[in-house]
Amino acid sequence: MGISIRLSQPWLDGLTGLVGFALALFVIAFIAYVPGFMNAFLIGSILADRRPHRRHIETFPDLCVLVASYNERENIADTLRSLTRQDYPGRVSVLVIDDGSTDGALEIAQAEAAVQSRPGMQMRVLAMPRNGGKSRALNAGLADTDEALVVTVDADSYLRQDALRKLVERFLSDPPDTVAVAGCVLVRNSRENWLTRGQEWDYFHGIAAVKRMQSMYHGTLVAQGAFSLYTRSALVQVGGWPECVGEDIVVSWALLATGARVGYCEEACLFTKVPTTVLQFARQRQRWSRGLMEAFARHGRLLFKARMSTLFIWWNLLFLPLDLVYTLAFLPGLVLALFGYYWIAGVMTLLVLPLAAVWNLIIFRVQSQMFKSQNLKVRRNVLGFLFYTVGYTMLLQPVCVMGYTAELLRLRKTWGTK
């Protein structure tokens, strides 16, 4: 960050002459300084990762797995089959909460539950009378079960055979104040088109690395609903999942507000289907952005809570100006540069490329080692990586700004299927 400030002086002077010092500093800070700090901090933390290994467990506790499903006709059977193939040594109770599906998903879930149930793996279906949203479905499932450990799994997902076991091993190996552990969510349908190829790198390279870093500071900020473990007592203490569009991030921050710890297990892998169209992708990421604003609205006091994870609450607070500056300043600056006006984007912009290359190499090496330890192989996806490094943010950050705007305008919220 210090190097960025020093090198940017000519850039700052030139832009100051056009828009004034305050606006020029604001724009350059969120184009260069803040991202530079974030990347350097991430690299340093990942290289310093010395978390305790998962320990061997003699007796595994009983689990309940809640699968909230809404119009997942094409996916629910695969999800349940992957659950019945788990090598978890303890008893598992799987409850599918069908949230008023209209596509026949309920009947498929009921048929699969009857076929896939086995000793140690009980499956059943709870049919909600009408669609009420994901939070309501999960809370209904929570009330209908009694196991001390609760795992949530999305209905369009496929778990590796050892996913539940490793998730519980990580939970039991982590510090005693841990009340939730996020699993590793990866992309299942990455070969469909250019958009899914780019998302494969986002999940493998970006989201996973950030969660891993946050867990080192005892505060993974999102135990995502797609695959996470919670203690029932902690969920009951915070009133379960809140009625909002970003129920997973809001409940995670509620847990952090109690002083508890949220961890991450990069070895417990679940593969999910990601959006295949720009419209689906935009809806999903807008929902995530709105969820972040909901979390700040309900638990903004975490900004002033003295604990290591507070850094990342402030970090998330910076996403709004980062996305705004990128969308409203940097992207127009790229267009201006094509016509020879290098006021915002120009030669100085290229100076971030070496740091970006180092960041990508380090994260790729760490994630590849994790894959190798799990007998997984990183598939060749060069075109997807080029899109992820060059064009992905050009799509992602304007979409996030649309999400912030929708939340500020209090537009209608739906959880949909993506």
- Do the Cβ atoms of 85 and 123 come closer than 8 Å? no
Least confident of 23-27, 163-167, 389-393: 389-393
Dihedral pair phi/psi, residue 122, rounded to 5°: -90, 130
- Please write the tens of the pLDDT for every residue from 113-163: 999 999 999 999 999 999 989 999 999 999 999 999 999 999 999 999 999
Per-residue pLDDT, 410: 81
Per-residue pLDDT, 365: 85
Spatial distance between the Cα atoms of 126 and 65, rounded to a whole number of angstroms: 13
The pLDDT mean for the chain works out to 91
**What's the gap between Cα 369 and its chain centre?**
21
Per-residue pLDDT, 70: 95
CATH code for residues 63-277: 3.90.550.10
The length of the chain is: 418
* pLDDT cut 90: percent of the chain above it: 67
Per-residue pLDDT, 169: 96
Chain region(s) in the chain for CATH 3.90.550.10: 63-277
Least confident of 44-58, 109-123, 297-311: 44-58
Rg value, the chain, Cα: 22
**Residue 184: both structure tokens together:** 């590793």
- Residue-by-residue DSSP string for 135-153: HHHHHHHHHT---SEEEEE
Least confident of 103-112, 137-146, 154-163, 342-351: 342-351
Spatial distance between the Cα atoms of 66 and 134, rounded to a whole number of angstroms: 11
CA-based torsion, 302, 303, 304, 309: positive or negative = positive
Pairing mode of beta strands 63-69, 149-153 = parallel
CA atoms within a 13 Å half-sphere pointing along the CA-CB vector of 234: 24
**Per-residue pLDDT at 323 exceeds 90:** yes
Mean pLDDT value across residues 48-63: 86
Angle at 305 between CA 300 and CA 307, to 5 degrees: 130
